[in-house]
């Protein structure tokens, strides 16, 4: 099952995150969890630095996640 999220990605060696858009994550996003998704034909993996709102599922909204690659 995919989980739609608004994804910001901070790649390794960068100080700023780039907004990638609404993307389907392979795993349910949780604080300090891992994110894995396809972007421009490539698999992207990273840690979830922030997730807002925390209770996104209960509210029925699309969460915003900041993914950091280290």
* Residue 28 belongs to domain spanning: 3-55
Quote the percentage of the chain above a pLDDT of 70. 100
- The confidence score (pLDDT) of residue 1 equals 79
User: Considering the domain boundaries, does residue 7 fall inside one?
Assistant: yes
Per-residue pLDDT reduced to its tens digit, 33-64 = 999 999 999 999 999 999 999 999 999 999 99
Taking all residues of the chain, what is their mean pLDDT, rounded to a whole number?
Answer: 95
User: Considering the domain boundaries, does residue 10 fall inside one?
Assistant: yes
pTM over the 0.85 mark: yes
Residue with tokens 């699309």: 62
Tell which residue, 39, 43, 30, has the closest CA to residue 8: 39
Domain count, the chain: 1
Any long-range contacts for 42-47 (C-beta under 8 Å, 24+ apart)? 44/9, 44/69, 45/69, 46/9, 46/10, 46/70
Distances 22 to 8, 13, 63, 70 between C-alpha atoms, Å: 9, 24, 9, 22
């Amino acid at each position: 099952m995919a989980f739609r999220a608004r994804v910001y990605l901070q790649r390794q060696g960068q100080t700023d995150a780039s907004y990638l858009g609404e993307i389907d994550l392979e795993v349910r996003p949780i604080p300090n969890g891992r994110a894995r998704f396809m972007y421009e034909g490539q698999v992207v993996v990273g840690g979830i630095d922030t997730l807002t709102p925390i209770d996104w599922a209960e509210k029925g909204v699309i969460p915003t996640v900041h993914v950091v690659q280290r």
